[in-house]
């Protein structure tokens, strides 16, 4: 069955958004890294690996650095950082993070309020002294946008 005019219009609008993003990326310099505000008793374990973030021209939020965990424990549901205004995703996101936790995966949930919530595989707590944000990234635009 042939596509309807509305379907074709949506596809064309999506293509135009992609072209606009690519044109903007070609013109704009790569943005600088920005400090990621930590919460609670989280800390910077190594001054050479400050927790940072940036939004690149392709609507992707990138993270770098390490976050030190209080009392050497990763607690499921703990809020470890807050995203500044302008760096919040349009839809909730989950990103995997590296750590020194043994045999348990850790993730960060990013919500619309800008909270980074630590998630421990199977819940509870696990011994871990730091989280590595290096290589973690997520989309900033909504799921309905192609």
Strand residue runs (E) in 101-142: 106-110, 115-120, 125-127, 130-132, 137-139
The pLDDT value recorded for residue 57 is 82
Helices (H) and strands (E) in the chain, counts: 1, 12
Could you tell me how far CA 85 lies from the centroid of its own chain?
Answer: 14
The pLDDT value recorded for residue 139 is 92
**Strand arrangement of the beta sheet that strand 137-139 belongs to:** 34-35, 52-55, 60-64, 137-139
Give whole-number Cα distances, 76 to 62, 88, 109, 120, in Å.
23, 21, 11, 5
How crowded is residue 108: how many other Cβ atoms within 10 Å of its Cβ? 22
Q: What is the 3-state secondary structure (H, E, C) of 77-93?
A: CCEEEECCCCCCCCCCE
The pLDDT value recorded for residue 138 is 95
The pLDDT value recorded for residue 145 is 54
Tens of pLDDT along the chain (146 residues) come to 457 888 888 888 888 888 887 777 676 678 899 999 999 889 999 999 999 999 988 889 999 999 999 999 999 999 999 999 989 999 999 999 999 998 899 999 999 999 999 999 999 999 999 999 999 999 998 766 55
Tell me the three state secondary structure of residue 136: coil
């Amino acid at each position: 069955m042939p596509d309807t005019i509305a379907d074709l219009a949506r596809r064309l609008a999506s293509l135009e958004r992609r072209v606009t993003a690519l044109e903007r990326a070609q013109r704009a310099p790569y943005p600088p890294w920005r400090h990621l505000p930590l919460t609670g008793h989280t800390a910077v374990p190594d001054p050479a690996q400050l927790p940072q973030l940036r939004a690149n021209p392709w609507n992707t939020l990138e993270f770098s650095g390490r976050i030190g965990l209080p009392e050497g424990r990763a607690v499921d549901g703990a809020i470890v950082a807050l995203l500044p205004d302008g760096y919040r995703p349009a839809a909730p996101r989950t990103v995997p993070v590296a750590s020194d936790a043994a045999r348990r995966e850790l993730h960060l949930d990013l919500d619309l309020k800008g909270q980074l919530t630590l998630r421990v595989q199977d819940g509870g707590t696990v011994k871990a002294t730091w989280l590595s944000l290096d290589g973690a990234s997520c989309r900033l635009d909504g799921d309905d946008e192609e």
